[in-house]
Amino acid sequence: MNDSVRILIVDDELIVRESMQGWLEEDGYHVEVAETAEVALGMIGEKEFDIAFLDIKMPGIDGIELLKRLKDQYVTIDVVMMTAYASVDNAVEAMKIGAYDYLTKPFDPDYVSMMVRKIMARRQLEQENVRLKENIETALKHVHIIGESSAIQAILKQVEEVASSDTSVLISGESGTGKEMVARAIHYASPRRFEPLVVVSCGALPEGLVESELFG
């Protein structure tokens, strides 16, 4: 939800702070503003922010120096630089330091909103990837799949790919090759890992009963 997204706008121009705050609050985001980098650093030290918009030209600590400090101390904040003085050198420097993007004044409100959505979509994807990796690691602890060979790594990659989906999976292989271990790895890495894994021995069922047992 947008109201859980915290945005900080740092600019010495009142009109810029008020305009951007108004646009983004209309989109439902939680927005705070700071007139100087010094004030911003104090706020960031006390609160968590997802995104920071920083003006490059400010009295005292400028935007580039503030960007360096944020990337050194608060690496999870995505930073967008702002300036009325378009400069390729400034843009390149900011991107090298770790800025997500670069805006030139005056701003298009729709473009600013789109940029925030893109940042949050990327952050959500990164968080999902972290959770999936943690799930895979948990799954491997349950089933003890160990190996560094290219074949094992290919299997683990397939487990990761199918675990997050609701797709039916057919695991084939000769007896003793670890088909049940792979099935358990998929289960424990999936959103269904808190539900029971039901194992059915088809060989122990009478002929004709398998379909009714599995599919009703």
Question: Which string of b and e fits 65-91 if b means at least 16 CB within 10 Å?
Answer: ebbeebeeeeeebbbbbbbeeeeeebb
Categorise residue 182: left if φ over 0, alpha if ψ from -120 to 50, beta otherwise: alpha
Comparing 2-107 with 129-215, is the CATH topology the same? Answer: yes
Residue with tokens 């039916």: 168
Residues in Cβ contact with 16 at an 8 Å cutoff, skipping those fewer than 6 apart: 9, 55, 82, 105
pTM value surpassing 0.85: no
Report whether CATH 3.40.50.2300 matches the domain 2-107.
yes
**Fold adopted by 129-215:** Rossmann fold (3.40.50)
Inter-residue long-range contacts of 12-21, CB under 8 Å, 24+ positions, other chains counted? 12/36, 12/55, 12/57, 12/58, 12/59, 13/55, 16/55, 16/82, 16/105, 19/107, 19/109, 20/53, 20/107, 20/112
Residues 178, 179, 184: CA angle, nearest 5 degrees:
100
Token output for 185: 């790895």
Domain ranges across the chain: 2-107, 129-215
Cα separation, 156 vs 136, in Å, equals 8
How would you write the pLDDT of the chain (216 residues) with one tens digit per residue? 577 899 999 999 999 999 999 999 999 999 999 999 999 999 998 999 999 999 998 999 999 999 999 999 988 899 999 987 766 678 788 889 999 998 888 889 999 999 999 999 998 888 877 777 776 666 666 566 667 788 878 888 888 888 888 888 888 888 888 888 888 888 878 888 778 888 777 777 777 777 776 666
